[in-house]
Structure 1
């Protein structure tokens, strides 16, 4: 199975690079933005929400991974209900297997989990204990 990147992560990476390397003239874009924008254009052209990682140029992949390193690694808020036998953690929203295997997941697998728990928005990290979260 191939790894994918969701459009929201691609947009976040583009915006991070645009802020980090703003256009000097309001027209040209940094090489990282151009590389990611090409991938974004393919998503738009195909009316897709996910992009196969293998379709990225080396430049786009490097730019995405640079953005990724600035994101929080784990959604954990130190309230793990899977330790008490819950199949899904009430604190972070990950499944027991995701919590157990998190250190071995690659960046793309982690972002798939992040995307799911953000979309669900039911974990305590999004409501009851939101003050514990720094994004």
Structure 2
């Protein structure tokens, strides 16, 4: 079962802190507070992941709104799975993940994003990124 990684909770908290800053520097507004409660439980439990069902309605809604602000797909239009590779050299997803992506829910998609980011072997994280950086100079 896919889980939400603590780095996604952190990113969602930062999204909401920027979007709805604390009015007094201390008080957390509702979306940030809901996510912070999940984050605090994770830290207390030494957990790196949480099941979406365990987050509660307010935290899930806040996380989903953050999720809507992120790129939908890791695809960089270099799909080697269409050439028979089991793992795409461009984005790092498996053939099955590429095929099922349109029907995956947000938690499944973020779980995949987390895996390919940690692996960091796809061209989107190295060769493609290096080429993009070279073009800026």
Q: TM class, shorter-chain normalised? A: over 0.9
Q: Distance in 2 between matches of 1:52 and 1:116?
A: 16
Unaligned runs of 5+ in 1: none
Q: Distance in 2 between matches of 1:84 and 1:15?
A: 39
TM-score (norm 2): 0.92
Mean CA deviation greater in 9-18 or 121-130:
121-130
Alpha-carbon displacement from aligned partner over 1:56-75 (angstroms, at most 9, x marks no partner): 12111100000000000000
- Alignment pair present for 1:65 and 2:64: yes
Alpha-carbon displacement from aligned partner over 1:83-112 (angstroms, at most 9, x marks no partner): 110110000000000001100111000011
What secondary structure is seen at the aligned counterpart in 1 of 2:127?
Answer: coil
Alignment of 1:1-135 (within 5 A): 1=1, 3-130=2-129, 131=132
Question: Moved runs in structure 1, 4+ residues, more than 6 A?
Answer: none
Unaligned runs of 5+ in 2: none
Alpha-carbon displacement from aligned partner over 1:12-64 (angstroms, at most 9, x marks no partner): 00000001011111111111000001111110111100111111121111000
